[in-house]
Chain A
Amino acid sequence: MTEIATRPAAPAGHRGALAGIRVVELGFAAAGPLVGKYLANFGAEVIRLESRLAADVFRTTYPPFKDGIVEPDRAGMFAFYNDGKRSATLNLKHPKGVALARALIGTADVFVESFTPGTVARLGLGAETLRAADPGLIVLSSCNQGQTGPHAFHPGYGSQLSALAGFVQLLGEPDSTPVLLYGPYIDYVAVGYGAIAVLAALERRKRTGVGCTIDLSQYEAGLQFLTPTILEFAANGRIPGRLGNADLVAAPHGVYRCAGRDRWVALSVWSDAEWRDLRALMDIDGPATAAERRRARVALDERIGAWTATRDRDLVVTLLRRKGIRAAPVLSISELFDDAQLAHRGMWPAVTHPTIGEMHLMAPPFRLSSTPSVQDRPGPTVGADNDHVFGEILGLSLDERSTLQRDGVFE
């Protein structure tokens, strides 16, 4: 593996853009917790409250686990999705657990939760209750379909919600069955919008002193990315569907097989001049105008594919880029860790996890020049920061803590 470049060194005295902001988080899997990850990467103190009695599915269920051993502190997913955070354990079925959670949230600027609607309210940690005590608090509730409405309580997860919202319908060959977006795609859309919503509320609080209760439906967030398909249907009565790799403008525009096993190149032609260069390079025929080329797509794709099929992928990319034609290798996941451009941006910061060992985190895809992100800690082990949270922040003595421990409050 190539040396992973570090992100720009933080300037002396750099505390992160969000230093001084405390976030308390209750949630599971990706959609809620990744909001906290981004805030932590830029210096917020993010405290994940969790319980051994009802652990995050990323700790208990979703592989991969280090060496295949299913234990909460060997869970790769949790370590990857929760970097930079602290972990404190609280049993929220115990009244003293709830009181401590409330006290901790009372010291925080932001509370993020991603349970089924109504869950935190039943625990006594609903936004109304919390903000009655602390009007400046910002509460983000992120869930599948929002806090209200006939489907609010319907369970769901990102991969399937991506299908409902219409992303899946747009992926695949025309007139063939759709294929999956690999992961819980829509969750990550909601993560970005969730973090944006929290930051917008923090900005408003600076001016007004008033907090905010944010109801984020992952479904509604995802639909923002599909606005043109909605407008196209409403305006023109057509339901946008799968186009394979065709484009409404560029032609040729596709993914072509190269020499070797499962090696592919992506390329697109956006002007007649680029097309002339491509024709000359590959020594192939085809019409001069884009409209004609779009109609001749199948034949052109075959001719280009025949040329690329016997050539090395990276060589093809180099030849095309030398001509100024847009082209890129279809990188596999393992290749992403070796990609020079991503490495230059420090996309995969290396850290050592106490149980998992050497592993890589994911950097934010935007770099801030003066207050860069810092990623030096993987997701915490269960309860790693109990002393800090209950001792230093909440001021409980050792005696008090051991009594609570005995009573099962920290389970």
Chain B
Amino acid sequence: MKRRVLPGLHLTLGLTLLYVSIIVVLPLGALVYKAASLGFVDYWRIVSSGRSVASYRVTVLCALGATAFNLIFGVALAWVLVRYRFPGRRFVDALVDLPFALPTAVAGIALTALFAPNGWFGAYLAGIGVQVAYTPLGIMVAMAFTSLPFIVRTVQPVLEDLDPALEEAAQSLGGSDSIIFRKVVLPLLTPALLAGVSLAFARSLGEFGAIIFIAGNQPFQTEITALLTFIRLEEYDYQAAAAVASVLLITAFVMLAVTNLLQARALRYTQRA
């Protein structure tokens, strides 16, 4: 039998392509065009300048630190939410999405108020000689806050679907809890975990609003790449802004490819299980 074709292909696809072209493809194309029109020598001079490289280092190292924290805390949080029943569990579950719902600028000034040397946590931390706000540690706090939901929300469903029989079998074979976690549970979580980690890391690399309030923004010390792009714009140095932004764009595309690959793997893995 010949399949009846639904109406609306031309309208909806046309609309979609128009929107995507104007809103997504055109601006990104313009940015790439601008960066490419610099010529290789100028481009390389800008993206490999000391200040640019220092900003990559700060951004990447802080994103790694934030992601490492979220890896541990995110898994613990997902585990507690899935495995245990306690008063307020649903409340905590809803709170996990707060970093997505709270505007980044609001998160930025709130975290700064907490961690500034005279803030609630900052004053205490200053007593033990730790300064968070206006140091790379502050950048990590902001990145960790904004990217926490990615890891919790990717690990949670996999943990929910985990077959209890696997743990039961491992226990009947005499494995201790920590061995079973490492040898049975963790390998099953790994694909989802990798996908969550890459999402969180990518988000941290591009984060701006939450960071600039708490970072201190000292060139070479606490200046992230997104901020350097913004500063070049304010200096009307559009070529440098285009070049540095293109580095962020390329990084985003690489992370997108990595994430898609990991997600496809995670999906295959869970479907097989």
Q: Do A and B bind each other?
A: no
B residues adjacent to A (C-beta < 8 A) = none
